[in-house]
């Protein structure tokens, strides 16, 4: 075993031996450079779960409120102010009134010249307008032919005439500022008529187009329903067949019931109660005198004779009937005398 020959300097402090420490000697701190211990919180603070010593926080300065974002103001009232101008209203109203007359003439002309103008209207984009207008047979020229071709041939057929009252009513209400019915009433009635009649005529034209019928005849009647009516009828016929007629009848009845507010149907063939009451009222005057006779004149209800004498002619007239309530002494310059009869034993005393 090697021997330790290291010698410590004499100035060094004597090392710690394994001798027991005295009881009175306090134990030195392990980390003498650490901070001094902070005072422990009191029991009341521990119970309330509050920190023992907390430095007061500095109050933050209140934030300034944000200013709302302002959008640039746009005044739109000036853009539509011309709508309140009476001159513009009259201009628009007369435009609709004259437009309704224009459509009426164009539609009527289409019934006679529609098939001849069909080739012209289909080539409007490829033909100069001047030459196309000269070839048009419509009474109102190329524009009338195009409008009629679009609304009748490709639209709703002859049912497109129902659109004319709508245009006329708009112009009439703008110009004269009065109308007997509301615009929604006219609009609903005309639109339903146009759609329903177009589908009905489309179904009629569809049934005519059979192998036994001349195709030229069927082609000449296609303007009755128009493109919308024919396609709708063809679609319904492919779905429900003959049920298309029942469906159209149901739609018509439903519209009449709801539109005209039908709540009851009087299908009784007998005389109504109102007619019976009228007959009873006409029969009552025949029995009225007998019911209205007072009880005091019961004795006078017996037939009696009344004589009227005319001195000038010497004629005596007799009248049989009840006594009048207030007899007149003179009538038409003639003197009337009455004969007093003895009172009846059955009559009450007066």
pLDDT at 274: 57
Tell me how far apart the terminal alpha carbons of the chain are, to the nearest angstrom: 181
Model pLDDT for residues 129-172, shown as the tens digit of each residue = 888 888 888 999 999 999 999 999 999 999 999 999 999 999 99
Q: Tell which residue, 183, 186, 184, has the closest CA to residue 173.
A: 183
Model pLDDT for residues 183-214, shown as the tens digit of each residue = 999 999 999 999 999 999 999 998 888 777 77
Long-range residue pairs from 111-118, CB within 8 A, at least 24 positions apart, any chain: 111/158, 111/223, 113/137, 113/138, 113/139, 113/145, 114/148, 114/149, 114/152, 114/153, 114/223, 115/220, 115/223, 117/145, 117/148, 117/149, 118/149, 118/153
Q: Tell which residue, 154, 149, 142, 147, has the closest CA to residue 114.
A: 149
- Per the listing, tokens 């209203």 go with 89
Model pLDDT for residues 254-285, shown as the tens digit of each residue = 999 999 998 888 776 555 555 556 655 655 55
pLDDT at 190: 96
pLDDT at 228: 93
Please report how many Cα atoms fall inside a 13 Å half-sphere around the Cα of residue 307, on the Cβ side. Answer: 10
Confidence tier at 15 by pLDDT (50, 70, 90): low
pLDDT at 264: 85
Kindly give, in sequence order, each residue whose CB lies less than 8 Å from that of residue 217, ignoring residues fewer than 6 positions away. Answer: 208
Contact 303, 348 (CB under 8 A): no
Confidence tier at 288 by pLDDT (50, 70, 90): very low
């Amino acid at each position: 075993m090697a021997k330790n020959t290291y010698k410590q300097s004499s100035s060094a402090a004597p090392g710690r031996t394994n001798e027991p420490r005295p009881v009175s000697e306090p134990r030195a701190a392990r980390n003498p450079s650490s901070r001094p211990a902070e005072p422990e919180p009191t029991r009341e603070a521990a119970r309330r779960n509050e920190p023992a010593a907390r430095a007061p926080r500095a109050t933050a300065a209140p934030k300034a409120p944000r200013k709302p974002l302002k959008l640039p103001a746009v005044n739109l009232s000036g853009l539509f102010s011309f709508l309140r101008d009476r001159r513009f209203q009259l201009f628009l109203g007369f435009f609709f009134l004259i437009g309704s007359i224009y459509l009426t003439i164009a539609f009527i002309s289409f019934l006679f010249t529609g098939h001849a103008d069909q080739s012209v209207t289909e080539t409007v984009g490829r033909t100069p307008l001047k030459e196309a207008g000269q070839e048009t047979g419509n009474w109102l020229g190329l524009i009338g032919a195009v409008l009629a071709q679009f609304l009748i041939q490709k639209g709703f057929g002859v049912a497109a005439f129902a659109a004319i009252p709508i245009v006329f009513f708009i112009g009439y209400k703008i110009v004269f500022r009065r109308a007997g019915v509301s615009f929604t009433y006219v609009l609903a009635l005309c639109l339903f008529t146009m759609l329903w009649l177009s589908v009905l005529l489309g179904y009629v034209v569809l049934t005519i187009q059979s192998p036994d019928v001349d195709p030229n005849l069927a082609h000449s009647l296609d303007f009755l329903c128009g493109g919308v009516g024919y396609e709708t009828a063809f679609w319904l016929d492919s779905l429900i067949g003959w049920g298309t007629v029942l469906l159209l009848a149901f739609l018509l009845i439903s519209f009449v019931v709801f539109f005209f507010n039908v709540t009851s149907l009087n299908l009784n063939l007998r005389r109504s109660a109102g007619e019976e009451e009228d007959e009873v009222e006409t029969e009552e005057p025949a029995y009225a005198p007998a019911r209205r006779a007072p009880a005091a004149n019961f004795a006078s209800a017996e037939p009696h004779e009344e004589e009227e004498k005319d001195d000038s002619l010497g004629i005596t007239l007799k009248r049989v009937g009840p006594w009048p309530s207030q007899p007149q002494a003179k009538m038409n310059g003639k003197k009337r005398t009455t004969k007093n009869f003895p009172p009846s034993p059955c009559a009450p005393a007066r």
